Chain A
Amino acid sequence: MSLLSVRNLVIDYARTRALDGAGLEVAQGESVGVVGESGSGKSTLGSAVGRLLPRAARRTEGEVLVAGEPVFDLPAARLRHLRRKHLGFVFQDPIGSLDPTMRVGDQLRLVLGRGGDVRFHLGRVRLDDPRVLRAYPHQLSGGMAQRVAIAMAMATSPDLLVADEPTAALDSQVREEVSDVIFTLAAEAGTSILWLSHDLPAVARRCDRVAVMYGGRVVESGPAAQVLGHPAHPYTAALARSAPAAAAHGVRLEPVPGRPPVLTGPSPGCAFAPRCAFAEDRCAHERPAPVRVREQDVLCHKAIELEDRLTAPIEPAPIEPAPIEPAPIEPAPIEPAPNTTEVTA
């Protein structure tokens, strides 16, 4: 039985359908990257796993099972228990997700309960400096703050860690460090990871499996190397082709043509159809059912036909999670908070 199982989940906001029948399975110990176009519903999916959606969101259909428990139908106390025991979250804004009025040590202690070894947990994320313990979040750099957030999320050794673009706000070196920390800790604890990101190379490198979202559905999922190296869905292929890092200088990259859909109700057919070079009539009004292509599950009417015609330039050598060099401890830069920008209007 998989640890996380999202089945035909439909989430509506006031005037948008964010998830339109998303399905996803995450097994114990597995790391799954979720990629997709901006607005495709990644964050909504991530929040739905812990039932952390904003009030405006409504679950219209489907369910989310974590360790077999239906998240959306649990009474409050059971839900809390589930979150405590099975789930951990790391969000994009590192400093914002820490309580600004509490010392880092106290926040961690709150999670660990009495008798928890705070130093040990900070040490695990390579924050050995005792000053960190007594520091307030605003006195930490972004990278340090994100590591604290990770330490808190991992403190209870959750079964599943949901990380929503946890490194987007960080610069490239720090980004690597933080990712390393997460994956190492998860590997040690046997934690599964749901990694929401748009950093395709990183996902390819670090995740076991990838789920590609489009228009509120998971249109393709499978082993990371397979999905990104040999996409089976036309969208995945287009996405993988457009990574700027992949381009040689002076070459013009082509984005996926057209605009992503903004759904207000169920999409009548394949949401990608209007932008798809291979679309045919039925794509516009018949919702595709999952098909298996190689090791991938694909939502495409023409997946079988297209099996070998889609290519991707990324040839990710699935590398071992890089051994972490003891990251140099930044002398906690107690940065003076910036003053009001001097504006001369």
Chain B
Amino acid sequence: MILELDDVTVTFAAGPPLRRIHLDAMRHVTLQVAEGETLGLVGESGSGKTTTSHVALGLRRPTSGTVRFDGRPFPKRRRELAGRMQAVLQHPHWSLNPRMRVGASVAEPLDVLGRTDRTAVTEMLEHVGLGADFADRYPHELSGGQRQRVSIARALVTRPAFIVFDEAVSALDVSVQVQILNLIKDLQAEYGFGALFISHDLGAVRYVADRIAVMRRGEVVETADTRTFYAGPSHEYSKQLLEAL
């Protein structure tokens, strides 16, 4: 298992002291992602998907429960994980540094690892359907979909062991979506990374995910193999979701 969440609860306290509102964004969530596996995570808005991804990425310490990455708890120093995990975060608008050229953004994970070889950058841009000439553009010169693809390229460039895709293909047209999803699948076959694929788009999830977890109000209400899930979900809420497809 590359990632294990065991009975994880995350409680947010918002507002000033005394009148704190406590909100469980995750309740006793247990999930695993194996090497080479994609876990699809679906659920309505506000159900805790992003929070789950943050916990998985070690960006947020759970209120209770344990998280193990690659069999070990998160190291104290994040640096030790450098190049091991990556993420495509939810908002394409803010995911790129507006003052960094696309090439530099994509190259950053390589820089962190001290790798100076730039061919990987061009190669990855090509993979996501952007020519090498995009490398010296600034994010504001891109269309919504192009921007999102740059984030994806950045996440994939170091071939990490674990990747989170949070609404990674939501701003893409179908053809590019397929291209990206295929890319993920291909790279996964080649490098065997585990992935957490969060999306509203059940079609896309079905296409890439090996297993699917459904969240509702902070709880995982169902986890199933993709084929089984789409054939006949067991939870009532999952059925509702599928109907909307």
Contacts and interface: CB of A to CB of B under 8 A. Distances in A.
Interface of A: 13-16, 35-39, 43, 92-93, 141-143, 165, 168-176, 198, 200, 238-239, 242-247, 249-250, 252-256, 259-260, 262, 333, 335-336, 339, 341-345
26 contacts: A15-B137, A16-B141, A38-B143, A38-B144, A38-B149, A43-B143, A142-B45, A143-B45, A165-B144, A171-B200, A175-B200, A198-B145, A198-B171, A198-B173, A198-B177, A239-B175, A242-B177, A252-B182, A260-B129, A262-B134, A335-B46, A336-B14, A336-B21, A339-B14, A342-B60, A344-B58
Contacts of B175: 37, 238-239, 242, 255-256
A209 B213 CA distance: 37
B201 A172 contact: yes
Contacts of B78: 344-345
B176 interface: yes
Given A13-B141, A253-B178, A336-B14, 17 more contacts: A35-B173, A38-B145, A43-B144, A165-B144, A173-B44, A175-B200, A239-B175, A242-B174, A244-B177, A244-B181, A244-B207, A247-B207, A249-B226, A253-B182, A336-B21, A341-B59, A342-B59
Given A244-B207, A333-B46, A254 B143 contact: no
B245 interface: yes
B65 to A, nearest CB: 16
A238 B174 CA distance: 10
Contacts of A343: 59
B15 interface: yes
B120 interface: no
Interface of B: 12, 14-15, 21, 23, 44-46, 54, 58-61, 78, 93, 126, 129-131, 133-134, 137, 141-146, 149, 170-179, 181-182, 185, 200-204, 206-207, 226-227, 230, 241, 244-245
Contacts of A142: 45
A262 B143 CA distance: 12
A247 B73 CA distance: 39
Q: Which of A141, A169, A341 has the most CB of B within 10 A?
A: A169
Contact of A165 (B129, B131, B171): B171
Nearest to B148: A38
A341 B143 CA distance: 27
A58 B174 CA distance: 29
B72 to A, nearest CB: 16
Contacts of A172: 200-202, 241, 244-245
A168 B170 contact: yes
Contacts of B129: 38, 259-260
Contacts of B170: 168-169
A13 B129 CA distance: 20
Nearest to B203: A245
A172 B149 CA distance: 22
B181 A171 contact: no
Contacts of B204: 244-245
Nearest to A259: B129
A255 to B, nearest CB: 4
B176 A38 contact: yes
A173 B129 CA distance: 30
B208 to A, nearest CB: 8
A243 B173 CA distance: 9
B30 to A, nearest CB: 22
